[in-house]
Structure 1
Amino acid sequence: MDDYQAVRELLPAPPLSPEVERAGRERLAAAFAHERVRRGRRAARWSAFGLVLAGAAAAAIAIAPTAPPRAPATSGTVAQADGKRFLLVAAESVASMPDEGAWWGRTEVNGRQFHEPGGRYVLRESESVETWIPADPEGRSWYRQTPQGTKPATPQDEAAWRVDGSPTSWTYDKTSETGHSGAVRAEPGEQSTWSTEDWDFRILTAGKPLTKMSEMPDTPEGLKALFDADDRTTIDTAARLLFFAPVTSETRAAAYRLLASAPGVTTVGQVSDALGRAGQAIEYESGEFAPPNYAGATRTRLVIDPLSGRPLSIETRAVADGLLLTYTAIQDSRWADDNPLKENE
């Protein structure tokens, strides 16, 4: 892993507040009400947000496939918006989030899934990572990593694991697509805490290091010009920025709007993410977040809570069978004046 990849994997995502969630719910409800009127009149226009995407981009969103409505998974879940419209709702919600503080902190769960050596069931290996990045570019960044061990991925996999004798370790050879060589063990590893002073990058997008958050554009057009890349790389970079970078709320909203107009992005509908949380999802073809030794084609899924504007998880799935390969799920993120990891050193 190079330094740039390490920075990308350790960058954080946005905070959530009750006020923002309520505002997002009101905007989403208004959008659905407007959409019902639009369908009755058969008019081709956007909702009352005033977020207009011109020309071919608007046409592409209008014809994006829509999954059939599903029953809400939780009392706070709203039915799916047409096409990628929920990304525009999320953009409006996230734009009002606070983005000031001495530290940007988050807790995420990183995981990957793979078949046991005999291919009879799927295992999930995961770890929790807490990150605190200083607003001061001269400050040190702090991390706490807690390996959570390996276990069967689903109840069905657990049943097959029990039939297999409930093993607590599995041995792989060097050709395995899991990326493991040798034994994989069930028990959690030791927790570790450390700090680094390698934040000269501060933000890294499309291979371009920037020195402070205010250097990031706050419009979709500005971000696209900054990335200066093909469609797939642009989508990957927007996803990294949206989920991981400590940018301003307006820049994060611009990333949502960029994804809404990007070709090659399709809607999945309402789903549960890797941690079982309800959200809306989009997918696109990409190998950016796939395991390094995985040879097959993959698709990247972004799961979003449009009511709050909070990104929930990035998931990489195999095209062949839909198997979840890797994921990063954001459990919590916020700006704060204190860093608990530094205080406990």
Structure 2
Amino acid sequence: MRTEDDLRAALTTLERHTPDADTVLRAVRSAGGRRRGRRPALRWWASGLTTAGALAAAAAVFAMSATPAGPPPSVFRMPDGTEGTANSDVGAARQVLLAAAKTAARSPLTTGRHWKKSTITGNFVQVGPSDDRYLIMDQSRNESWTARSSDDVMVFTQSLGAQLASTRDRAAWRRDGSPTAWASAGASGLAGPQGFTEGGNRVTTAPGERHMAFGEKGPGGRPFSVGGHSMSLKELQALPADPARLEKLFLDSPLYKHREDGDAASYLIEQVPEVLAMPVTRQVRSALYRMLAGVSGVRSLGRVRDVAGHEGVAIAVTEAHQKCGDRTKADTDADPSWIYSTCTVEQRLVINPATGLPVAQELRYTKLPAGPKWSAPGGLFSYEIFEYAGWTNASAPGSQG
């Protein structure tokens, strides 16, 4: 039987290795990684534990030998400077996009055996009892390898563990018994403007194992999707470098025509970043930015930091929506169950001015109906960080060549 002295010894060890708030903040920033160099391992230990909370955590350390469990989730924090300064001048947004178009047009030509794309996505998800809900942030890394020679694609994913959205959510989490896992809460992809997500997987506080999600040709036998149109690499690289023709391609998509809510600006800023991170020609990447420069309703946010601390210039579209926050579980065929009756959402695209490549996408609630709260910082509810997009001669993990 473990004694009180054993428990206090474990508490001492735990407190010695529990980082302060600055260390946790650096870990959150490192979740998106740095653009160059080795990526530090993620750690999700909580900071600022009370004595009672630390004793409970120490007791949990003893229990790990019998029942594996992740560490308690930390509170999500964004780096300083994330918000930027909004500029409603349409001309400012146009200047940002035209500058990105010029940079993209001058980007160096590269080649390789695979097109590799790596992203980190994060989604804030409501969990807990129906009368005492709280927000967790579920984060995952997604990586795809598309072969130049065959259009074969391999997709890998890894859960990076859950965090709590705020100290208020931490209090509700403790009232819920401090769980380390939640069923059907996962959301592996970037949400749509109304809060749609992909997935519904089990979420834990600890990072999961990296695994292959699938390996095949992709939808319709083609690995790339441009506004709902499935394309091979050859078709992708034959896209016209003409802003008007590209806009027509996007808006002729069933994805847009069957869209129940949102205008063209909202749809384009949702769809275009993914194409910017595909192996399109540099002329097409430039034309995509020039296309966005002609879209009404786009405004500049100036220089910002994304949720991982990366700097860039940002544009945004803000739009009101009916019915927001789809909480439907992925394993049911039920109609969506909406958290909010209305919302106003800001969609952001952060661009690297030195490369013309996307840095991140972010979606934020700027207005909710009277009464409901959203405790995530800055109204953030979903984001995608572009870690890498480019040709490589490396072999896909687990492949023979």
Q: Which residue of 1 aligns with 2:224?
A: 203
Of residues 326-335 and 207-216 in structure 1, the stretch that sits farther from structure 2 once superposed is 207-216
Aligned residues: 263
Instruction: Supply the AA of the counterpart residue of 1:197.
Output: K
Shift of 1:87: 1.7
Within 1, Cα distance between the matches of 2:302 and 2:99?
15
- TM score, norm. by length of structure 2: 0.56
Structure 2 residue 348 is matched with structure 1 residue 301: yes
8 Å CA contact 1:114, 1:178 repeated in 2: no
Q: Which residue of 2 aligns with 1:105?
A: 116
Secondary structure of 2:237 counterpart: helix
Runs of 5+ consecutive residues of structure 1 not aligned to the other structure: 1-15, 18-63, 68-80
Shift of 1:83: 3.6
Change (3 A) 1:139 1:182: closer
Within 2, Cα distance between the matches of 1:108 and 1:240?
11
Q: Which residue of 2 aligns with 1:318?
A: 365
Change (3 A) 1:170 1:143: closer
Shift of 1:329: 0.7
Structure 2 residue 312 is matched with structure 1 residue 279: yes
Within 2, Cα distance between the matches of 1:222 and 1:261?
13
Shift of 1:109: 0.5
Aligned pairs for 1:330-345 within 5 A: 330-343=386-399
8 Å CA contact 1:99, 1:249 repeated in 2: no
Aligned pairs for 1:102-251 within 5 A: 102-115=113-126, 117=128, 122-136=135-149, 138-153=150-165, 156=167, 160=171, 167-169=179-181, 184-193=203-212, 194-198=214-218, 200-211=221-232, 212-229=235-252, 231-232=264-265, 233-243=267-277, 245-251=278-284
Instruction: Supply the AA of the counterpart residue of 1:188.
Output: P
Instruction: Supply the AA of the counterpart residue of 1:88.
Output: L
Structure 2 residue 300 is matched with structure 1 residue 267: yes
8 Å CA contact 1:107, 1:333 repeated in 2: yes
Instruction: Supply the AA of the counterpart residue of 1:84.
Output: R
Shift of 1:119: 6.3
Q: Which residue of 1 aligns with 2:99?
A: 89
Change (3 A) 1:214 1:83: closer
Within 1, Cα distance between the matches of 2:113 and 2:352?
26
Within 2, Cα distance between the matches of 1:178 and 1:168?
24
Within 2, Cα distance between the matches of 1:281 and 1:185?
32
Secondary structure of 2:367 counterpart: coil
Q: Which residue of 1 aligns with 2:39?
A: none
- TM score, norm. by length of structure 1: 0.64
Shift of 1:127: 0.7
Runs of 5+ consecutive residues of structure 2 not aligned to the other structure: 1-34, 37-86, 186-194, 253-262, 328-337, 369-377
Shift of 1:255: 1.0
Within 1, Cα distance between the matches of 2:348 and 2:132?
24
Shift of 1:325: 1.1
Change (3 A) 1:210 1:144: closer
Within 2, Cα distance between the matches of 1:192 and 1:103?
19
Q: Which residue of 2 aligns with 1:72?
A: none
Shift of 1:104: 0.6
8 Å CA contact 1:143, 1:341 repeated in 2: no
8 Å CA contact 2:153, 2:223 repeated in 1: no
Structure 1 vs Structure 2 CA RMSD: 3.6
Shift of 1:110: 1.2
8 Å CA contact 1:203, 1:246 repeated in 2: no
8 Å CA contact 1:112, 1:126 repeated in 2: yes
8 Å CA contact 1:94, 1:309 repeated in 2: yes
Shift of 1:126: 0.6
Secondary structure of 1:328 counterpart: strand
8 Å CA contact 2:242, 2:287 repeated in 1: yes
CA displacement, residues 208-238 of structure 1 (integer Å, 9 cap, x when unaligned): 3333223211121221232345623344333
8 Å CA contact 2:237, 2:279 repeated in 1: no
Within 2, Cα distance between the matches of 1:238 and 1:129?
18
Within 2, Cα distance between the matches of 1:203 and 1:143?
12
Q: Which residue of 2 aligns with 1:45?
A: none
Shift of 1:92: 1.5
Secondary structure of 1:100 counterpart: coil
Within 1, Cα distance between the matches of 2:151 and 2:352?
32
Instruction: Supply the AA of the counterpart residue of 2:246.
Output: L
Instruction: Supply the AA of the counterpart residue of 1:103.
Output: H
Within 2, Cα distance between the matches of 1:250 and 1:99?
14
Instruction: Supply the AA of the counterpart residue of 2:241.
Output: D
Q: Which residue of 2 aligns with 1:73?
A: none
Secondary structure of 1:130 counterpart: strand
8 Å CA contact 2:269, 2:349 repeated in 1: no
Within 1, Cα distance between the matches of 2:355 and 2:390?
13
Instruction: Supply the AA of the counterpart residue of 2:273.
Output: A
Within 2, Cα distance between the matches of 1:241 and 1:171?
32
Instruction: Supply the AA of the counterpart residue of 1:134.
Output: A
8 Å CA contact 1:112, 1:125 repeated in 2: yes
Secondary structure of 2:397 counterpart: helix
Shift of 1:266: 1.7
Instruction: Supply the AA of the counterpart residue of 1:148.
Output: L
Q: Which residue of 1 aligns with 2:22?
A: none
